Amino acid sequence: MDEHEQRDLAAQKILEAMQAAMDEGASSEVVKLVTLSAAVTNFVTDYGEEATANIVESLPEKIRGGSFTRGAHGEDGEASGEASGEETGAES
């Protein structure tokens, strides 16, 4: 499975889990905040605080530039390499 297929699969599974939580009564706002918090926590655990801060600091420009707009770059809305740790030297 190439990286694009892996990203599509991961995005699909995460979105399904988010929908399942909402179907069971969690509000969409809570689910989104918890998902974001879990992602940041995992980045800190895997790559450290400084690398994670560098990734997060790059997000406003990418958000405003459309990198996360669904349909612009694929199903998950994330352009290849964006916010994945690649630009900080973090490896998965």
DSSP-derived 3-state class of residue 2: coil
pLDDT per position as a tens digit, 7-49 = 999 999 999 999 999 999 999 999 999 999 999 999 999 999 9
Q: What is the CA radius of gyration of the chain?
A: 14
Cα–Cα distance between 17 and 55 in angstroms, integer? Answer: 24
Range 60-69 average pLDDT: 95
Q: What is the pLDDT of residue 79?
A: 43
Counted residue by residue, the chain has a size of 92
User: What is the spatial distance between Cα 79 and Cα 81, in angstroms, rounded to a whole number?
Assistant: 6
Has residue 50 got a pLDDT over 60? yes
% the chain with pLDDT above 90: 74
Helix-then-strand count for the chain, H and E? 3, 0
Cα separation of 80 and 2, whole Å? 12
